[in-house]
Each structure stands twice: as C-alpha cells, then as structure tokens.
C-alpha cells in the first residue's frame, strides 16, 4: 500500500475525532490546539507546542496511532513555516529513528497485507477509537484491556508509509545550515532503507580480489586484528569510538553479518593477497535501491601505499556488479586529507557539507563532506 502526498493532504484535520484517539500521554484532544499553536506568530510558544507534540507521538523508540496523521501535518508545516524548520526536522528524525529501530521486526513479515487505508484509521468507524471519556482511571483500565500490540504495529506501518511518501519533499528541502543538512541526511538514510524494495543477497562465504589485495566477509576470527589496529588515531575519523572496546567490536561484527544476510550492508576485511596480512576493513553500508555508502579504513603502516584507491575501485566494482542501486555515496570527515582526495579520482561530485551531532557511539560533532557517483 503506497500513498501520494496529494492523497495524504486531503485528510481533513477538522473532522478527526481527536477526543477518541490516544497518544503516549493520554487522550489526544490536546493535539489540535497544539497544532494550531505550532503555526502561531509567537516563536517561543510555537516551539514549545512542537516540543509537546514530539513527546506525545514518540516514546522510547515507539510510535502510536496518532503519530502518522500528526506526521502528515508536520510535513505540511515544513513547507509552510520555515522559521521552525530545524525543530520540525528534529521531530521527524525522532519519529524516523523509531521506525528504523523496529524495522527488522516487520521487514520480512506479511501482517500488513490486508491493512485498511490510513484514512480509515481516523474515521468514525475506526477500530482504534476509544469510548467517551469518563475518568483517567477508566482510561487506564481501557489501555490495560486493549490489544496495544496491534495498535503499535499498525501505527508503525502507517508512519513508515507517511515517511516514505514525503521522501521527495525532504530531498528538495533547502537546509539553512550544515546542522539542518545533517538532520535531512539522517532522515533520508532511514527513509531509503525502510521503504519497500528488492535487495540482492550476497553469499556470506564469498570473497573478492584486486591487484594486491583480497577481501573476505568479516567474522569473529578477525576480532583480535580489529582490536590491535583500530587505534585512537584510526578511529578518529570513523563513525564510532571503537578503540580498545572489545564488546562493541564483537557486537559490530555480529550485527554486520546479520545485515549482510539481509542485504542491507557488506562489511569486508582487507588482506594482503600474497601474505594474508591484515590491512584493514571496508564495505558498503545502508544498501538500498536509491544509494549505497562506501567506506574504508587502513591500519597505520598500510597507509600511503595506494591501497585506498585500490579498495575504493573494488567497492565501486562490487556495487555495480552485485547491488541494486542508483548511486554511490562517499562521506568524508573534514580534515581527513587522505580520504578527501579519493572521490575526485573516480568522478564523484561534491553534493553538500553537513554536520553530524554527537551520538552514543561518537561523542563529538563531526563536520562532513558528501560526494556522490551516479551509476549508469
């Protein structure tokens, strides 16, 4: 089931029975006033309203039945009220992360094959409507007696569909600064991954070769090599601080192998073809039909030997031969001079600069440059 922006924006917000719907903090009858306040002229009140909305429609990585319809309105506001663009993007990213977090639970299932259209979710005949309000205590009893798992599952599906429908709006949006550009980049990464598509699955036992190197899919046997060679200087430009962190690296290898079998990533170990010496790691991440991102790191004494160019060429070849996608992305942190020069060698064009804010895996601001290569 796919929607168009026109279809979604034909929903009449004035007819939605808010008082019979719920969000994470109770009855949803406060959402209409908050939406009205969000488009008011008082910027402080407007942002407070958006903050309140965000806390009502997403909670601990989950969404609820009011989330998808509110998300439609947030995208409308994104086009109508540019003074709140940063906060709207943060709320949309908060919701997008919740969708991405649960994606693996639903990715290969068929529980949504006969789901009704989103318009029925908010009709007067909806099965998700609650009875007339009596007391908060009575609402708590209703919540406990309701099959909330179905509520959350359906909410996830509808929210995912809304996010994917507005992909073109996000792609056309003009960021006002590099932080906003980073928010857009993060949202689009989730959207492109979770939308329905066919992926090619690469054999977990497959290997590749280039002039001086060979490539094998990452596995636990290489954990020691990762620990030894991922020094603080090497991890400075990686997306996670892995120096000396054995549990994190072990989990990284485990997750990488799962993603390979799902066709969503390909993480490789680089070895010297003649000696079998460990050289580093490379791979494809966020594999989807729109784009795939390539990346690599080399141990300290393997740098400056031309391996970066050789590995990049191999990753491009693998992408062309074995991945269903339209473009290759190459994100490089400013200051990483050894990597910044590589995209130009292969015809990549500079797309934009963006900032990635601190995360649990990387506790510092990262200024990035994004390069892209369109595939024929």
* End position of a domain, from candidates 194, 223, 257: 194
Q: pLDDT confidence of 124, banded at 50, 70, 90? A: confident
Angle at 90 between CA 19 and CA 176, to 5 degrees: 130
Q: What distance in Å separates the CA atoms of residue 52 and residue 65, rounded to the nearest whole number?
A: 17
Per the domain annotation, does 77 fall within a domain? yes
Residues 266-308 pLDDT 10s: 999 999 999 999 999 999 999 999 999 999 999 999 999 999 9
pLDDT tops 80 at residue 81: no
Question: With helix as H, strand as E and coil as C, how does 65-103 read?
Answer: CCHHHHHHHHHHHHHHCHHHHHHHHHHHHHHHHHHHHHH
Residues 175 and 264 in one domain: no
Residues 250 and 179 in one domain: no
Q: What distance in Å separates the CA atoms of residue 176 and residue 186, rounded to the nearest whole number?
A: 16
- Measured in whole angstroms, the distance separating CA 228 from the mean position of its chain's CA atoms is 30
Residues 219 and 149 in one domain: no
Q: Which domain holds residue 219?
A: 207-374
Per the domain annotation, does 134 fall within a domain? yes
Residues 6+ away with beta carbon under 8 Å from 366: 333, 355, 356
Per the domain annotation, does 201 fall within a domain? no
Q: Work out the end-to-end distance of the chain between its first and last CA atoms, rounded to an integer number of angstroms.
A: 29
Phi, psi dihedral angles at 231 (to 5 degrees):
-75, 170
Closest CA to 213 of 307, 321, 91, 111: 307
* End position of a domain, from candidates 139, 173, 194: 194
Residues 178 and 251 in one domain: no
* End position of a domain, from candidates 194, 224, 247: 194
- Measured in whole angstroms, the distance separating CA 367 from the mean position of its chain's CA atoms is 19
Is 296:239 a contact under the CB 8 Å cutoff?
Answer: no
Residues 172-228 pLDDT 10s: 999 999 999 999 999 999 999 999 999 999 999 999 999 999 999 999 999 999 999
Q: pLDDT confidence of 80, banded at 50, 70, 90? A: confident
Closest CA to 112 of 65, 58, 57, 150: 150
Residues 315 and 216 in one domain: yes
Per the domain annotation, does 200 fall within a domain? no
Q: What are the residues facing 27 on neighbouring strands?
A: 22
Tell me the three state secondary structure of residue 141. Answer: helix
Q: What are the residues facing 58 on neighbouring strands?
A: 63
pTM for the structure as a whole: 0.94
Residues 68 and 132 in one domain: yes
CA atoms within 13 A on the CB side of 122: 24
Q: What is the CATH number of the domain that holds 232?
A: 3.40.630.30
Share of the chain above pLDDT 70, in %: 100
Count of domains for the chain? 2
**Which residue carries 């290489």 as its tokens?**
222
Residues 19-41 pLDDT 10s: 999 999 999 999 999 999 998 88
**pLDDT mean over 120-131:** 88
245: left (phi over 0), alpha (psi -120 to 50) or beta: beta
Residues 50-59 pLDDT 10s: 999 999 999 9
pLDDT tops 80 at residue 61: yes
Is 47:75 a contact under the CB 8 Å cutoff?
Answer: no
Per the domain annotation, does 352 fall within a domain? yes
Residues 67 and 163 in one domain: yes
Is 261:204 a contact under the CB 8 Å cutoff?
Answer: yes
Which segments of 230-265 does DSSP mark as H helices, in order? 232-235, 246-262
Residues 93 and 135 in one domain: yes
């Amino acid at each position: 089931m796919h929607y168009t922006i026109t279809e979604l924006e034909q929903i009449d917000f004035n007819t939605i029975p808010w008082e019979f719907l719920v969000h994470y903090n109770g009855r949803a009858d406060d959402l209409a006033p908050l939406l009205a306040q969000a488009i008011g002229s008082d910027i402080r009140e407007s942002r407070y309203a958006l903050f309140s909305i965000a806390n009502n429609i997403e909670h601990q990585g989950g969404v609820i039945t009011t989330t998808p319809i509110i998300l439609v309105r947030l995208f409308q506001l994104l086009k109508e009220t540019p003074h709140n663009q940063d906060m709207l993007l943060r709320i949309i990213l908060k919701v997008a992360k919740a969708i991405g977090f649960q994606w693996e639970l639903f990715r290969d299932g068929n529980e949504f094959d006969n789901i009704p259209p989103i318009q029925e979710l908010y009709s007067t005949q909806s099965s998700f409507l609650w009875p007339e309000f009596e007391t908060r205590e009575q609402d708590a009893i209703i919540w406990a007696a309701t099959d909330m798992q179905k509520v959350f599952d359906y909410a996830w599906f509808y929210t995912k569909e809304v996010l994917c429908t507005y992909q073109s709006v996000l792609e056309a949006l003009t960021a006002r600064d590099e932080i906003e550009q980073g928010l857009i980049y993060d949202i689009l990464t989730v959207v492109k991954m979770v939308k329905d598509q066919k992926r090619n699955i690469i054999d977990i036992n497959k290997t590749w070769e280039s002039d001086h190197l060979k490539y094998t899919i990452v596995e636990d046997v290489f954990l020691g090599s990762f620990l030894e060679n991922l020094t603080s200087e090497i991890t400075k430009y990686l997306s996670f601080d892995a120096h000396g962190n054995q549990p994190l690296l072990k989990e990284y290898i485990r997750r990488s192998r799962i993603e390979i079998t799902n066709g969503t990533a390909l993480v490789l170990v680089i070895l010297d073809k003649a000696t079998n010496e460990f050289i580093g790691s490379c791979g494809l991440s966020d594999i989807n039909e729109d784009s795939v991102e390539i990346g690599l790191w080399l141990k300290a004494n393997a740098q400056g030997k031309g391996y970066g160019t050789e590995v990049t060429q191999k990753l491009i070849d693998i992408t062309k031969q074995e991945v269903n996608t339209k473009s290759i992305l190459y994100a490089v942190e400013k200051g990483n001079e050894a990597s910044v020069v590589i995209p130009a060698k292969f015809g990549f064009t500079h797309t934009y600069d963006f900032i990635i804010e601190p995360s649990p895996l990387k506790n510092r601001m990262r200024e990035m440059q994004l390069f892209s290569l369109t595939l024929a």
